[in-house]
Structure 1
Amino acid sequence: MKTLKINILLLLIPFSLIGQNVTVIHKDDNSSAPIKTKILTMDNHLAVIFPKEYEPKFNVEYLKNRFTPDSLIIKHVDKKIEELYIDATKMYLKAEWKTLEQNKSYYDWDKLVENKKEREKKLISATSKKRKKLAKMDRQYLGLINSKGERIILVQFIKLKKNDYNLRTSIKDEWIVGCGDWFEENTESYEYVIDRDKMYLFGWTER
């Protein structure tokens, strides 16, 4: 029961900052030959495309069936992101509320209902402000195929003000994974489902 309550707390604060220090996980220096990525230089940011041979060190089971997106797909997704960015938050809020309703006995339900509209308004407002800054955020892209056979592009936005934590070079050849304040403030992950033409917060395509 204690674990469930902790998970619910995290569900309610998807954009919160967790932790006090940054930890960035780099790939093992003793790994085999480096995987070659493809770099596209857009107007205001880099787009780094990872091939199917790249083996992520996170969500391994979910990401086990991969494909290599070509430049045309990535350019298409890159253009769709701003259009679908706010919709992704709206879909998240609907899916989250459905999950909350299914577990309402664990909450002060009347309080949640009372605060629902105001909370959603604040999250959408915050998302709108972030949307204006997307054009200058570098992106990492990885193609995957889900259990339904749908093609998905995993997108990670990374905001590098300078060469934070020596990531300016790393971003081009390894998927940046980490935790802490810096990571929570400067990265975001989404999934664009090609066959649906919709974008979701990472982990919410099936909810």
Structure 2
Amino acid sequence: MNNIEAEKLVVAPVERKDGTYALRLCITHGRITAGMMKTVMKTMEEFNLPFLRSTTGQRMNLEGIPADRVDEVIASLGTAAGKIPPGVAACAGAGICKYGMQESGEMADRLLALIKQNGPYPSKVKSGVSGCKMACAHSFVRDIGMIGGPKGWDVHFGGSSRKDAVPGVKLGSGLGMDDALELVGKALVFYRENGNKRERSSAMLRRLGTEALLNALG
């Protein structure tokens, strides 16, 4: 790997039960480059860190960091985020997967930009972009779920995989990318303006009813 240039990462500290810390690597859609890997491997070797763990949100956690060395490890990896930025889980999509009906990469990039543009929100927003109805990115149970079909994108909102698990409400079906994102943008504004502090979108819909959202979207 001597010919690979190391890349800096943005990381966010997460305190663990045993007093150690994890550093969450804020990568995009699960994509990690050779340069990022070089930085991580160098850091793990230098600080004798035990393992890197993948998360359900397509991020990576560098685990087992002693509390008194967190700042050193952050400096080795890159820079610290004030809070964990939003992310979008995305499947391989039609360009790679033989089952894919829509390309997930561009949709995930544009969706992430839209989420950042309309925030902040009452609580975290988890999203999944799946190129087909097999929904490998868990799109049915995300706050925002985009699911590709032969005619376009189905848009779901307000899903949850927590203890009160529920699929998202379908807001539209067979939409082009621009129309699907416009619909998501309106739903995010509704959530921003009507959700209570620390209330996830699914809890807001249980409290207000799905008709309140559908009526607001016209």
**Shorter-chain TM-score category?**
under 0.3
Structure 1 or 2, whichever has the larger Rg, is 2
Which structure would you say has the larger RCO, counting Cα contacts within 8 Å and 6 or more residues apart? 1
The structure that is helix-richer by fraction is: 1
